[in-house]
Amino acid sequence: MNRRAFLQTSRRLVQGGSVLGTACLADAYFYERHQIVSETHRLPLRGVGEAWKGTRIVQLSDLHLEPFTSVEDIAKAVRIANALRPDLILITGDFITKEHVHAEKLGELLSDLSAPMGIYGCLGNHDQWHEPDFVQRQMEQHGVGILRNESTVLEKSGQRLCLAGLESAWSGNPDLMHALQGRPLTEPVLLMVHEPDFVLRASKDPRVVAQLSGHSHGGQVRIPGFSPPVRPALSKYYPTGAYDVGNTHLYVNRGIGCIGLPLRFAAPPEVTLHILE
């Protein structure tokens, strides 16, 4: 290939790459960050009673109402969650981004969620950084019970499942021992904690059979087929999807909202349906 032909080919490649990059950026900004998908996951809970098999648990995470996540995005996520016919809804943190006052409007939107066994959540790092008590009050006033280093017992046909929630492992003071104080060593625990890497600690407690987390946004912008290049603190090891860590099963939800930039690419926002087995 002569010099002139080489330069022409190089110019076309640069132009083509520029067009492709612009198209991907437009998709990430205008389309994908609003295209909430539902994922179905079979959630194994070791030691849970037969009555719990087939229970439908919907998980939401990282709602981040404003500045990049709109009221319409949250309302759509709520509609998708309800359409999945959940028995129980769990929200694994980061209700807000920076302005705690947005928790009031978010609470109103979440009040449309419906699940016969209840709606519970834990706080994320953004919630803990920005008036966590206010965020908790707003959620609880609208039907979302927040567990902060606490646990509660749910029953089906007399068979128990302990549901626990911790403060953010990054910006709070997570205390698993306090949350499970008085719980029998034989009682299976389903744990909510915002940051997935906390499973390295949680899995050391034999009661914690599963952990639900968010925080990573699935990388938010990633190259298809590759691991997320950007991973927030405490989501370095487990950025998205399902993992087994010791005897604890972990699921990491990609969340609904965005932080940093209003972009999502190859990491669409997610509502998860967990079916217990």
**Domains of the chain, with CATH numbers?**
35-276 (3.60.21.10)
Express each pLDDT in 216-226 by its tens digit.
999 998 888 77
Handedness of CA 111, 115, 120, 126 (dihedral sign): negative
Does residue 208 register a pLDDT over 50? yes
Number of residues that this document lists for the chain: 277
Please give the share of the chain, as a percent, with pLDDT higher than 90.
81
**Which range is least confidently modeled, 30-34, 78-82, 98-102, 205-209?**
30-34
Three-state DSSP at 82 gives helix
Q: Output the 3-class SS for 207-244.
A: CEEEEEECCCHHHCECCCCCCCCCCCCCCCCCCCEEEE
Express each pLDDT in 51-98 by its tens digit.
999 999 999 999 999 899 999 999 999 999 999 999 999 999 999 999
Does residue 144 register a pLDDT over 70? yes
Is pTM beyond 0.85 here? Answer: yes
- 79 closest CA partner among 60, 104, 97, 64: 60
**What's the pLDDT at 225?**
77
Whether 255 and 217 have beta carbons less than 8 Å apart is answered as yes
Query: Which amino acid would we find at residue 276?
Result: L
